[in-house]
Amino acid sequence: MFENKIAVVTGAGGTLCSCIAIHLAKKGAKVVLVGRSAEKLQKTADKIAEFGGTYVIKTGDVTDKAAMRKIADEIKAQWGNCNFLINGAGGNQMNAMTTLTEYDPVELSEDKPEGVRGFFDLDMDVYTSVLKINTVGTVACCQVFGEQMVRNGGGVILNFASMNTYCPLTRVPAYAMSKAAIENYTKWLGNYLAPANIRVNAIAPGFFVNERSRTFLGTVEEGLTPRGESVINHTSMKRFGVAEDLLGCVDWLLNDEASAFVTGVTIPIDGGFLTKSGI
C-alpha cells in the first residue's frame, strides 16, 4: 500500500507528524519532511535513517505557495508526483492567547496587573498569523500537492483538526477559530476533489504528550496543572495520548482499499474527550 509511494508531511519536525513520517517510511514510503526548522527535521530524518528509510528534508513556510511549489517541483524531478499529503504544520502563539478564561473588568481597568491579557488586549497581527499558519498553510499545500495528485490520477490528503474544532477551549480564540475552519474546509475540498479521485479527510487529535503540553498541562505521572486536571477529568481514558495512538487511523484513512468510500470526514482521536459533557 505504501511501498514507494511519495508522502509529503508538513510539520514533520513536531511530535505527532514526526511519528507519522517515521511510520510511513517504515512501511516503504518515500517521505518528504517539510518544516521551517532544518534542525527539527533532521532529528526526524536521523530516526528514519536508522532503519534505512527513504526521505528528503525540505525547509519552507507552508503559507508561501511559491516556496511549496518549488519543493513540489524538486520532488517531482527526484521521485515523481505526490501520492499522500499530511498537512500537520500549524500551531499557536502566546500573544494570541488570553490569560483569562472569561471576561473580567480588570482587563479594561487602568490599574490592570502586569501579565493579564484579555480578549481586548490581543495583538491582531499575531492573531492573524495563527489563522494563517493553520488555514492558509493547509490550503496552499493542498493546491500545490493536490495538483500533482490530479495529474497522477488520484491521491489522499489528510488535514489536522483539533478538539477546538468541536467546541472552543478557553484562552485560544485564534487557534479554535482556525481549527473549526479546517473541518469545514475538509468537507468542501473532499467534495470538490472527488471527481479527481482524491480523498480528503482530517484527524482531530485530543490532548497528546509533547513539550508544550508538559508546560501547560503537566503529566499524569509527574503531576498535573489545574488545566491538566480539567482535561484528564474530561477524558474517559484518563490519560493523554501518545503519537503512536494516531497511526492506526492514519493508516486507514490513507489506504485506498480500506477507506475507499470515505472522504470529507474529521475523526476525533481523543480518548473519549468528546463523550463527556463535564456535567
Same domain, 170 and 228: no
Same domain, 145 and 186: yes
pLDDT at 211: 76
Specify if 201 maps to a domain: yes
Same domain, 46 and 139: yes
Q: pLDDT > 70: what percent of the chain?
A: 100
Residue 255's Cβ-count burial label (10 Å; 0-12, 13-18, 19+) is middle
Specify if 250 maps to a domain: yes
Q: In the predicted model, is pLDDT for residue 17 greater than 80?
A: yes
Q: Is the dihedral of CA 58, 154, 91, 218 positive or negative?
A: negative
HEC string for the chain: CCCCCEEEEECCCCHHHHHHHHHHHHCCCEEEEEECCHHHHHHHHHHHHHCCCEEEEEECCCCCHHHHHHHHHHHHHHCCCCCEEEECCCCCCHHHCCCCCCCCHHHHCCCCCCCCCCHHHCCHHHHHHHHHHHHHHHHHHHHHHHHHHHHHCCEEEEEECCHHHCCCCCCCHHHHHHHHHHHHHHHHHHHHHHHHCEEEEEEEECCECCHHHHHHCEECCCEECHHHHHHHHCCCCCCCECHHHHHHHHHHHHCCCCCCCCCCCEEEECCCHHHCCCC
pLDDT at 133: 98
* 56 confidence band (pLDDT: 50, 70, 90): very high
Specify if 184 maps to a domain: yes
Same domain, 147 and 218: no
Q: What is the mean pLDDT of the chain?
A: 96
Same domain, 55 and 11: yes
Q: How many domains are there within the chain?
A: 2
Domain residues for the domain of 264 are 6-95+130-206+242-275
Same domain, 10 and 140: yes
pLDDT at 213: 74
Specify if 265 maps to a domain: yes
Q: Which residues are catalytic?
A: 175
Same domain, 13 and 24: yes
* 73 confidence band (pLDDT: 50, 70, 90): very high
Q: Residue 40's domain is classified under what CATH number?
A: 3.40.50.720
pLDDT at 212: 75
pLDDT in tens, 84-107: 999 999 999 999 999 999 999 999
Q: In the predicted model, is pLDDT for residue 278 greater than 80?
A: no
Same domain, 68 and 90: yes
* 168 confidence band (pLDDT: 50, 70, 90): very high
Same domain, 24 and 90: yes
pLDDT in tens, 173-232: 999 999 999 999 999 999 999 999 999 999 999 999 887 777 779 888 888 988 899 999
pLDDT at 166: 97
Q: Is the dihedral of CA 279, 218, 12, 172 positive or negative?
A: positive
Question: CA angle at residue 10 from 211 to 83, to 5 degrees?
Answer: 140
pLDDT in tens, 248-261: 999 999 999 999 99
* 163 confidence band (pLDDT: 50, 70, 90): very high
pLDDT at 220: 84
pLDDT at 197: 98
Same domain, 267 and 226: no
Same domain, 265 and 193: yes
pLDDT at 141: 98
Nearest C-alpha neighbor of 35 from the set 18, 22, 52, 47: 18
Q: In the predicted model, is pLDDT for residue 120 greater than 90?
A: yes
Q: Which residue has the cell 536508522?
A: 50
